[in-house]
Amino acid sequence: MKERKCVGIVDTTFSRIDMGSIAVKRLKELLPEYTIIRHTVPGIKDLPGEAKRLIDRGCEGVMTLGWVGAKQVDKYSYIALSVGLTMLSILTGKVIVDVTVHEDESSDPRELRKIAIERTRAHAENLATMLKEGGEGLVKKAGLGIRQGYEDVGPL
Amino acid sequence: MKERKCVGIVDTTFSRIDMGSIAVKRLKELLPEYTIIRHTVPGIKDLPGEAKRLIDRGCEGVMTLGWVGAKQVDKYSYIALSVGLTMLSILTGKVIVDVTVHEDESSDPRELRKIAIERTRAHAENLATMLKEGGEGLVKKAGLGIRQGYEDVGPL
Amino acid sequence: MKERKCVGIVDTTFSRIDMGSIAVKRLKELLPEYTIIRHTVPGIKDLPGEAKRLIDRGCEGVMTLGWVGAKQVDKYSYIALSVGLTMLSILTGKVIVDVTVHEDESSDPRELRKIAIERTRAHAENLATMLKEGGEGLVKKAGLGIRQGYEDVGPL
Amino acid sequence: MKERKCVGIVDTTFSRIDMGSIAVKRLKELLPEYTIIRHTVPGIKDLPGEAKRLIDRGCEGVMTLGWVGAKQVDKYSYIALSVGLTMLSILTGKVIVDVTVHEDESSDPRELRKIAIERTRAHAENLATMLKEGGEGLVKKAGLGIRQGYEDVGPL
Amino acid sequence: MKERKCVGIVDTTFSRIDMGSIAVKRLKELLPEYTIIRHTVPGIKDLPGEAKRLIDRGCEGVMTLGWVGAKQVDKYSYIALSVGLTMLSILTGKVIVDVTVHEDESSDPRELRKIAIERTRAHAENLATMLKEGGEGLVKKAGLGIRQGYEDVGPL
């Protein structure tokens, strides 16, 4: 029975960093009893649809990995992505953790790479916690000013 | 029977203030006959999905506690959050009270902390009123220019 | 039978003018055969959910009375409000008339008050016409450049 | 049987040009076998709800005629209108053709009037084609840089 | 049996390049076992509705080909288009690949033409891969910084 639980990962060909592989690796460590299914789509606006298809295949949770360009139109696409994922979570009740890296977060490729890797790993941990412990799992970290991909800013 | 009524609270690890604990404390005082369930998610875009899961667990109302960053992309995430919660309220008919603190409301940490605490408490009172008295409960305060986290500006 | 028809009004505690009372008074004059139910919520993002609850209670039409702040984030909340009410009207087929006053429409409190009162009254008349005569009721005013709260600008 | 087919038109009292009458006249010429139902609502945010009601009455297609003000808040209302109509078309599968004139398209009333008239007529033709010939009907005009209310810009 | 599988293409009369024909040609090469149905609508806001109608006709996937004007209001229409397609993909679970060319991507008509042609072809290949191989099909290209219509930027 256990081996039939599954979690989905969707990333993009648009991304400049292979966040999907990072997520697969980390989720395998964190959720050994789950089957990890990884899919890839062209860009961020395709993520909600693929996440839906993974949920229809039985996944209990999905991690979406988006890379957002620097232009204003990319930001509008980000709105559509975000509304779409929010609606998907409302309509299905499934845990969907969205990891987005914005290409204009840094002009330094190494920095951007570091952000993408750490953000993906941190959110893989969030997803694993939410699947294993439910919504109570992250209460211990509530209000701590946690950031993924950056230093935590801490509580005020 | 009474003890089976429940109200949900969802806050975030992104927040720099533990608004969830403030909400739990105040709602316990205001709604002693309700079970208070508190969940935590990573960030604001995760709030609608968790609110949905709490409604599916039977909660009659949900308080979402969001902390919004200062960047433009955070504001776009705020749009997705707001559309998501509005849709959830339409689809379920449940009372959802959203408390959002924007990190750029003040550059003074003490001021920001004061805003977050008072806004959370004030909206806990709004939620309790709406659950106990229904939509008529707040009519006595209609049009009074009430602000949560700031001084009321009063009627014109 | 007649007395069981109902129309709902939802306003906010955020508003600086008691638009709900203005709406109740005008709708009672215009729709004496309807029960008028007035509810109040904290702010504009809460309007669609309360409108939904009034529709679930059997209201044939709902008037929402929103007061929108002057900050950019308030305008984003206005988008969520507007998308929410539009979706509610699509999902239920009910007549929902939205009255919104933007705090930055005037820096003169008397002017703002005049706008709010007249806009509320004018839209109460629109709602009454649409409920009594259906969608044909306003055809006689089509294309006339009618404004609520301001002088009509008239047709070109 | 034929005479029971219907097409709906919804315009607004906000508009400064009676686009509804132009649409009725043109659609009667183009679709003599259809009943044309014309409704009017206050403003653009009311269009999706009325279009829904016309679809519920049995209309196979709907033409919405919106007049958008020049202020930023009017543009936000335009987003809500557009999302609403898009959602309505997805949820019902009906052909909905939206004609929007933006008050700031021209400062010359005659020019604006010309835009509104020609755009309405051109989209009435689009709607008629789509109802009579289905989605294949406009293939012959694909990629031709066609504009409604302006000169066609033509293909590149 | 095989010949009854179908894929839909929707383009616009607003577009200045006949992207539909390019898509038809490429998809016929890539998906010889599919019936290709091509429809055309006036503009981008009409794409989600027509895509829905093609899905209702049995299409397993749809390619939408949008041409977005350079004005801010066109960008708002792009948001509505994007939210609409995202919602359609969530509600139906079908593969929808959106190709959008923005008129302001280049002031050189030849460059714009090249972008439109190459982007359409590249996304036709994406759609074919996703239909034939499912969501796993594009995994081999994940994180490679692939761009459609431009040189790939490559991984960081």
Which residues in E lie closer than 8 A to residue D95 (C-beta atoms)?
Answer: 49
What would the DSSP string read from start to end of C72-100? HHHHHHHHHHHHHHHHHHHHH--EEEEEE
pLDDT higher than threshold 70 for residue C3: no
Q: Decide: residue E151, CB within 10 A, 0-12 exposed, 13-18 middle, 19+ buried.
A: exposed
Contact C143 D10 (CB under 8 A): no
Which residues in E lie closer than 8 A to residue A76 (C-beta atoms)?
Answer: 75, 78-79, 82
Q: How many CB atoms lie within 10 A of CB A61?
A: 23
**pLDDT-derived band of residue B1, with 50, 70 and 90 as boundaries?**
very low
**pLDDT-derived band of residue B3, with 50, 70 and 90 as boundaries?**
low
Beta strands E6-12 and E59-68 are: parallel
Contact E143 A84 (CB under 8 A): no
| Residue E141 backbone phi and psi in degrees, to 5 | -105, 5
Q: What SS3 class is residue A76?
A: helix
- C6 token code pair: 């109902």
Q: Taking the domains of chain C in order of start, what are their residue ranges?
A: 2-141
Average pLDDT, chain B: 96
Contact D112 C156 (CB under 8 A): yes
- Say which of A13, A16, A84 has its CB closest to residue E156: A16
- E110 token code pair: 């030849």
| Residue E76 backbone phi and psi in degrees, to 5 | -65, -40
pLDDT recorded at residue A4: 75
Question: E42-78 pLDDT, tens per residue?
Answer: 999 999 999 999 999 999 999 999 999 999 999 999 9
Distance (Å, rounded) from C-alpha D140 to C-alpha C138?
Answer: 38
- From the CA of E20, how many Å to the nearest CA of chain A? 19
Distance (Å, rounded) from C-alpha C92 to C-alpha C8?
Answer: 14
Q: What is this model's ipTM?
A: 0.96
* Interface-testing mutation among A47, A52, A89, A147, with chain B (most B C-beta atoms within 10 A): A89
- From the CA of B2, how many Å to the nearest CA of chain A? 23
pLDDT higher than threshold 80 for residue A2: no
- Say which of D83, D96, D143 has its CB closest to residue E16: D143
Question: A59-92 pLDDT, tens per residue?
Answer: 999 999 999 999 999 999 999 999 999 999 999 9
Distance (Å, rounded) from C-alpha B15 to C-alpha B9?
Answer: 14
- From the CA of D123, how many Å to the nearest CA of chain C? 18
Mean pLDDT within C28-44: 97
pLDDT higher than threshold 80 for residue E4: no
Pick the CATH number of D2-141 from 3.40.50.960, 3.30.1340.30, 3.30.70.890, 3.40.50.720: 3.40.50.960
Question: A104-140 pLDDT, tens per residue?
Answer: 999 999 999 999 999 999 999 999 999 999 999 999 9
Range scoring the smallest mean pLDDT among B2-6, C15-19, C137-141, E87-91: B2-6
Question: B19-30 pLDDT, tens per residue?
Answer: 999 999 999 999
Contact D156 E87 (CB under 8 A): no
Query: Which stretches in chain D have pLDDT values below 50?
Result: 1
Whether the CB-CB separation of E103 and A62 falls below 8 Å is answered with no
Nearest partner of B42 among B77, B63, B13, B10, judged by Cα: B13
Mean pLDDT within A19-30: 98
Beta strands A95-102 and B6-12 are: unpaired
pLDDT higher than threshold 60 for residue E1: no
Q: Can you point out the beta strands (E) in chain D?
A: 6-12, 35-41, 61-68, 95-102
C-alpha dist (Å) from residue B101 to B15, B115, C73, E103 = 9, 8, 11, 38
Distance (Å, rounded) from C-alpha D146 to C-alpha E15?
Answer: 7
Taking the whole predicted model, whether its pTM rises above 0.95 is answered as yes
Nearest partner of A78 among E86, C101, E41, judged by Cα: E86
Q: How many CB atoms lie within 10 A of CB A154?
A: 10
- Say which of D40, D52, D83 has its CB closest to residue C83: D83
Q: Can you point out the beta strands (E) in B17-134?
A: 35-41, 61-68, 95-102
pLDDT higher than threshold 60 for residue E30: yes
Which residues in A lie closer than 8 A to residue B87 (C-beta atoms)?
Answer: 86-87, 90
Distance of CA B124 to the CA centre of its chain: 7
- Can you tell me which residue has the tokens 């191989």? E133
**pLDDT-derived band of residue A3, with 50, 70 and 90 as boundaries?**
low
**pLDDT-derived band of residue E3, with 50, 70 and 90 as boundaries?**
low
pLDDT higher than threshold 90 for residue B2: no
